[in-house]
A = this chain, B = another copy of it.
Amino acid sequence: MLRISKLTDYGTLILAHMASRPERLHSATELAETLGLGVPTVSKVLKALGRHALVNSHRGASGGYALARPPQQINMAHIVDALEEQPFGLTECSAGSGLCSMETGCRIRDNWQRINGVVRRALQDVSVADMIHPHGPAAGITEHRLHGPEPHPGTARLTRLDQED
């Protein structure tokens, strides 16, 4: 359904929060309370992020987690890779086996990969730092083909974007 999983969503929240105080150590408990999530859930996410070297963990009393790199160097693609089980890609390539490639010669796969590339790049272009700052560098990605005027930040345009044709 073309959605990121909730865990990935939480991951962005968690990292964004940590990025607001990059120097401090954040315990899973603290993050859970601040973000209104369950401690085990937060813990699970942090572990996965740790395995992918996005955060460092410090065990023991008064331990916690810290960003492993400056927030500018962590982007959405990193988070997705860390938290989504399956490897990145919109399709499993049109049915896995060679079922499809009979007649169309399956140019389709090439085209899906091209789309994947664009999507991935969109994710790479937004860093955790961008997520908490107004919208600096990330603004670059909107200029590609946006037609309408920029929606007001407070506007409740939740999921559905403007839809041409």
Contact = CB atoms under 8 A, between A and B. Distances in A.
Interface of A: 1-6, 9-10, 12-13, 16-17, 20, 34-37, 73, 76-77, 80-81, 84-95, 99-100, 102-105, 107-108, 110-111, 113-126, 130-135, 138-139, 141-142, 144-146, 151, 153, 157-161, 163-165
Nearest to A152: B110
A85 B1 CA distance: 7
A94 B134 CA distance: 17
Main secondary structure of the interface of A (DSSP, over half): loop
Nearest to A10: B95
A28 B77 CA distance: 39
A126 B48 CA distance: 35
Contacts of A16: 104, 108
Contacts of A105: 132
Given A16-B104, A107-B131, A132-B104, A84 B144 contact: no
